[in-house]
Amino acid sequence: MPQPSIPYACARVSALSKGLLDQQTIKRMADGSLDEAMRTLLDVRYGNLPDATSADCERMIDNTRTQTAAEIRELSPKPAITDLFLLATDIQNLKMLLKARLLGMADAQTETGGLYSREVLLHAVAEQDYRDFPDPIRESLERLEQKLKVEVEPQQVSIMLDRGYLQHALAVAAREKDEFAAMYFRALCDFDNLITFLRMRATGAPREDLKDVLLPVGGIRREDLMNAYELSEEALNHVIHDSTARDAIATGLAEMQQTGNIGALERQRDDYLLSLVKAHKHEVLTIYPLLGYLFAREREAKAIRLILTVKRNGLDDAVIQERLCELYG
């Protein structure tokens, strides 16, 4: 079956985008009661569950994520690139399932909207059979399983999976000659290398171990990070100067110094990557409007989950306003 043309895909995603909840609707949900928020979702047929209650929040989000992923895959003229962004959900799901297995948990919650079904992921983790995944991810998972036979380190799950995912993404971006994808994943690599560096240093891991987990790509040189192992967070600013994301990274490091929480750097990462997508989403002769639509649906799901969870549990609505500011600016 031939791939859709870029003009057709952009026209279709423009029409689909009209179904997104706008900021006024999100604000109305945030300001109203739980019943009023649910009524708003039912009025716009969110999640295609006409008789849903607030307890069905996750099913509504799951249905919408599944539908969005199907739309992206159906419309994309460059599936090799758009699949990379859907694959991020599978990587997160694999992390959750592997950590659940290590902790002896019977099950773990997973998200819809990736490339692989929950059944495929469950089988892969239970049987340690990763042949269905791209080679860099498969190899990372197989190395991880060998490490876990020697020592159970849940932190290694995220580190190894992120490494395999980024290796795959950067290889595909280079093969497809997609400058935006290359820029996006190099920036993600810079953030994740730095976050991995900080976490490993905080646990007292030997400096030499960094070489096995840091990717030698992006604007932050692996050797510079390793040489900065004994330096303070303030001194790290000289290491990040060649990264395209240096301003966002510097802001995250400054916030982390004040709060002691690495989550500040993770928020800067998410905000910066979203800003890249938003800056390109109106380029109508590219696939980037599809990515803009995908990211908008992700942001919408986070907002809905936040609003319904806070209202269902009787928490302070100020929590909603604070997080909505982070999501929508």
Structure tokens given for 275: 């800003």
pLDDT of residue 327: 72
In the chain the domains, ranked by start, together with CATH numbers, are: 1-76+287-329 (1.10.132.50), 78-177 (1.20.1690)
Q: What is the mean pLDDT of residues 290-301?
A: 94
Is residue 328 predicted with pLDDT exceeding 70? no
pLDDT of residue 209: 86
pLDDT of residue 111: 94
pLDDT of residue 326: 67
Three-state SS string over 38-107 comes to HHHHHHCCHHHCCCCCHHHHHHHHHHHHHHHHHHHHHHCCCHHHHHHHHHHHHHHHHHHHHHHHHCCCCC
Closest by CA position to 74, among listed 120, 116, 13: 13
Is residue 20 predicted with pLDDT exceeding 70? yes
Q: What is the pLDDT of residues 159-179, one digit of tens each?
A: 899 999 999 999 999 999 999
Output the CA–CA distances (angstroms, integers) from residue 229 to 158, 199, 268, 295, in the order listed.
21, 11, 22, 35
